[in-house]
Amino acid sequence: MAEAKSVPVLFVSEPIVLPGMVVPIELDDAARAAVDAAQATPTGKLLIAPRLDDRYPTYGVIASIVQVGRIPGGGAAAVVRGESRAHIGSGTTGPGAALWVEVDEITAAEPTEDTKALAAEYKKLLLAMLQRREAWQIVDVVNKITDPSALADTAGYASYLSDVQKRQLLETEDVAARLQVLIEWTGDLLAEVEVNDKIAEDVRDGMEKTQKEFLLRQQLNAIRKELGEGEPDGSDDYRARVEAADLPEKVREAALREVGKLERSSEQSPEGGWIRTWLDTVLDLPWNTRTEDSTDLTAARDILDADHHGLDDVKDRIVEYLAVRSRRAQRGLQVVGGRGSGAVMVLAGPPGVGKTSLGESVARALGRKFVRVALGGVRDEAEIRGHRRTYVGALPGRIVRAIGEAGSMNPVVLLDEIDKVGSDYRGDPSAALLEVLDPAQNHTFRDHYLDLDLDLSDVVFLATANVIENIPSALLDRMELLQIDGYTEDDKVAIAREYLLPRQRDRAALTPEEVTVTDAALRKIAADYTREPGVRQFERLLAKALRKATTKLAASDEPLTIDEPDLVGYLGRPRFTPESAERTAVPGVATGLAVTGLGGDVLYIEAGSPGSEGVGESALILTGQLGDVMKESAQIALSYVRSHAEELGVDPAALNRKIHVHVPAGAVPKDGPSAGVTMVTALVSMATGRQVRSDVGMTGEVTLNGRVLPIGGVKQKLLAAQRAGLSTVFIPQRNEADLDDVPAEVLEALTVKPMTDVADIVAQALEPATEAATAAA
C-alpha cells in the first residue's frame, strides 16, 4: 500500500466505478469543482466514491480525467478512467471549492495459484454468459485479460449485478474473495438463464407445432371438403347431431349444455376431448329405440322347449310375463317404460343345468335383443355405475354399455354369476346393483359417467347364481327366485339324445348313420360315469366317445354302434359305483344327504369310540373340517342319545367314554344343521352295534328333545339319493310340501318318509338286533 495522499473527491450515485472502467459522468456544480481541482494538480487525479445515504463511504477509485466536454443535451460531462482502489481517510483542505480527502492507494498483490485458478473458473463462466448473449467483441476483450484483479473488476460493466453487489466488489480488497463471490453470482445467473432459455425454446416449439397442426388441419378440412367427405368433430357438427337425434327432452338439454361448453373451450383444452367422448356416448345410446315383444304365447313356449329340456318353472314365468304384456297392449294400457314393467329374476342352481344359455332362449322367445354381462370376480363399484368424468379414461358402467351394445332400451340382460361378485377398497358392486335390480327404482337409474336418468324399467334382467347364500339378502330380496335343482337320470338321457349328441356329432363331422349311441349307453354314462346335477361333464364324455369313434372310422368305414358294454373301450372304467352298502357294512356309519354348490350329494357320517382308554371321560372328538353349526349338531345329537339311551336301547355305559365323529372327505369344508338326524343314527348304531340299512338316507335338523326340524334343498337331496342308488329317504314332516317340486320318476324310485321324531327314524333305519350285536352292545 502506497503513502497517503490528498486528492479531490467526486461523489456519484451511479454508476459504481471500479478500477479499469472508463465511464462518462454528468457534472453538476460540486462535480465541476472536483474536476477543476483535479485538473489543476500535477497528477490530474481525483477520487470517485459512491454516494451513500446511510453511511460515509470507505472505499473509492482513483481516476484520471480523459476528457471534459458537453453531452448532446447541452450539459457538462467528463469521461474518467478508474485506475486503482483507494481507502478513504479523513477530509483535508485544498485549493478551489472542491472537497479534498486523504486516501491510501491499494495495489494488488502478486496472484497466487489459487487466485489464478479462481480467475480461470470465473473467466469460463463469464465467457459462457457473453456467448449466450452473442457479445463477441466483448468476448475478445475478456480473453486478452490475464490479471485476476482486472478480470474481477470488469464486473463493473455487468448489467445483471446490482449497485449493492458492485459496492461489495469495490470494498473487497482481496482478489480471491472478489472472484469467489463473482463465481457464485454468475453461476446462479447462468443456471437461471439456461432454464429460462429452455422454457422459451419449449414454448416456441409448442407454438410452432400448434401453428403447424392448425395449418395441416385447415388443409385437411379443405381436402375433405373438395372430396365431399364430412367429419363431425367440431362443435357445430355436434350441435347439429344433437338437434337431429331422437333424444328425451332432459337428455337433449344436457347434451346442448355440453355442446355450449365445447364451443367455448379451445382446441387445445383437454376438456374438449372429455366433452366429445361424453357426447359420443350419449348419442350412441338408443334412448327411444325399443323392440316389439312377441304376442304369440304358443310360439314363445315352443322356442323355449326347443332350446331346453325341462325347466318348466322358468318357461312358465316367461310365458306369464308375455301374457300380461300382451293383454295390457290389447286393452290400450301403457306397457312401455314406467315402474315395474320389466322383470328381474335370478336363476339359482348347480353348474351345468343351462342357466346361462337360457338367457338367449328367453330373448328369442320375447323377440328382444340379448346381451350378457359377466359379473364373476368384479370388485369395483365403478364397473356397475361407471367412473366420474373427472378421471382419465372414464367410461360408463357395464349396464349402460350393455344397453348400448343391445341397441334397444328393452333387451334381455343376463347378469352372469351374480353370486361371484366381490368387494374391496374400491366399493361393493352388489350394493350398486340394488338400484339396477329394483323394479320400483330402476326407471331413474343414474350412471356416474352419464349423470343422466336412464330408464331400465323395461329391461328383463336375468341373473344366474350357484349359491344363493352368497348373494346379499337386500339384493336377493329385489329379485324373483327361480330354483333349478338339476336333472334326473331320465332327463339327462333325453337331453343327451335331443341336444348333446346331435351337437357333438356336428363338431366331429359325423352322421347318425355312421355312429349310433344307444339309450342304454347314455343311461350308463349318466348313472356310473357322471354324478352331477347338470350335463356339462356328460357332454364332455360324449365328445370323447365320438372322437374315438372318428378315429376308428378313419381305419374302417363300417358304421359303429356304441352300446353299454362298449363304454369301457371308449370312456374307460366307470368312475362311480354304488358304495352305500360297503360304507354302512359296519356299525356306526349312517348315510346323510347334503346340498353343496355343485348340487345335492350323499354324506357319510361315521361314529366310533377310540377303545377302552378314556372310560369315564365324556369328550367328543369331531373331524372332517366341520363348521360351527355342524359341530353343534354333533353335540346336540350326543346329548340327545345320552338322555334317551334307555328309549333307544342303548347301554349308557357305551356312551360314557370318548366319542369320535368323523365326516369323510376331510379336505372339503362342511357346515349346516341338516345332518343332525344322521349323527343321532350313527351314534345309536355305534352304541348298539346294529348296522344302518344300506338303502336308507336321511336329512333333517334335530333338537335336544328329538324333534326333526325342516331343512332346505329337498329336491336336490332326493335327486342325489336316486343317483346314489338309495331306496328309502327320511325327511322332516314339515318338508312334505316340498315333494310337490320333485319329479314323479324320482318319487317312484324312492320311498320318502316324512318324520317328526328322530327315535322313529332310528328304529326304522337300523338293521334288526342280532344276538352278536346285542352281546357287543
Of 512, 486, 384, 471, give the one whose Cα is nearest residue 436.
384
Q: Among this protein's residues, is 643 annotated catalytic?
A: no
Find out whether 128 and 190 touch, Cβ atoms under 8 Å: yes
User: How many whole angstroms separate alpha carbon 651 and alpha carbon 198?
Assistant: 99
Q: What's the alpha-carbon Rg for the chain, to the nearest Å? A: 50
* DSSP-derived secondary structure letter, 651: -
* DSSP-derived secondary structure letter, 496: I
Q: Which three cell numbers stand for residue 348?
A: 339359482
- According to the annotation, is 371 in a ligand binding site? no
Of 611, 651, 640, give the one whose Cα is nearest residue 703.
640
Which spans in 331-397 are helix H?
A: 355-366, 382-385
**73 CB-contact burial (10 Å; exposed 0-12 / middle 13-18 / buried 19+):** exposed
Name the residue type at position 595.
Answer: V
User: How many whole angstroms separate alpha carbon 613 and alpha carbon 58?
Assistant: 112
Within 10 Å of residue 589's Cβ, how many Cβ atoms? 25
- According to the annotation, is 548 in a ligand binding site? no
Helix (H/G/I), strand (E/B), else coil: 37: helix
Is the preceding omega at residue 15 within 30 degrees of 0, hence cis? yes
- According to the annotation, is 572 in a ligand binding site? no
Find out whether 697 and 721 touch, Cβ atoms under 8 Å: yes
- According to the annotation, is 349 in a ligand binding site? yes
Within 10 Å of residue 359's Cβ, how many Cβ atoms? 24
- According to the annotation, is 699 in a ligand binding site? no
Sign of the torsion formed by the C-alpha atoms of 732, 737, 743 and 744: positive
E strand intervals along 367-459: 370-374, 412-416, 445-446, 453-454
Q: Among this protein's residues, is 64 annotated catalytic?
A: no
- Residue partners of 487: CB distance under 8 A and separation at least 6: 309, 310, 353, 495, 533, 534, 535, 719
Q: Specify the long-range contacts of residues 390-399, CB closer than 8 Å, at least 24 apart.
A: 394/274, 394/449, 395/449, 396/281, 396/447, 396/449, 396/450, 397/432, 397/447, 397/448, 397/449, 398/373, 399/373, 399/436, 399/445, 399/447, 399/456
**642 CB-contact burial (10 Å; exposed 0-12 / middle 13-18 / buried 19+):** middle
- According to the annotation, is 355 in a ligand binding site? yes
**Residue of 45, 123, 166, 717 marked active site:** 717
User: How many whole angstroms separate alpha carbon 108 and alpha carbon 90?
Assistant: 23
Within 10 Å of residue 539's Cβ, how many Cβ atoms? 19
- Alpha-carbon distances of 452 from 235, 253, 257, 393, 595, rounded to whole Å: 21, 11, 13, 19, 44
User: How many whole angstroms separate alpha carbon 442 and alpha carbon 343?
Assistant: 11
Of 515, 519, 517, give the one whose Cα is nearest residue 489.
519
Report residue 223 CA to chain centroid gap. 43
- According to the annotation, is 354 in a ligand binding site? yes
- Alpha-carbon distances of 521 from 310, 518, 570, rounded to whole Å: 22, 5, 11
- According to the annotation, is 342 in a ligand binding site? no
* DSSP string over 62-75: EEEEEEEEE-TTS-
**Residue of 341, 674, 685, 694 marked active site:** 674
Half-sphere exposure of 595 (CA within 13 A, CB side): 23
Q: Residues marked as binding for ATP? A: 349-356
Residue stretches of the annotated binding site: 349-356
Active site residues: 674, 717
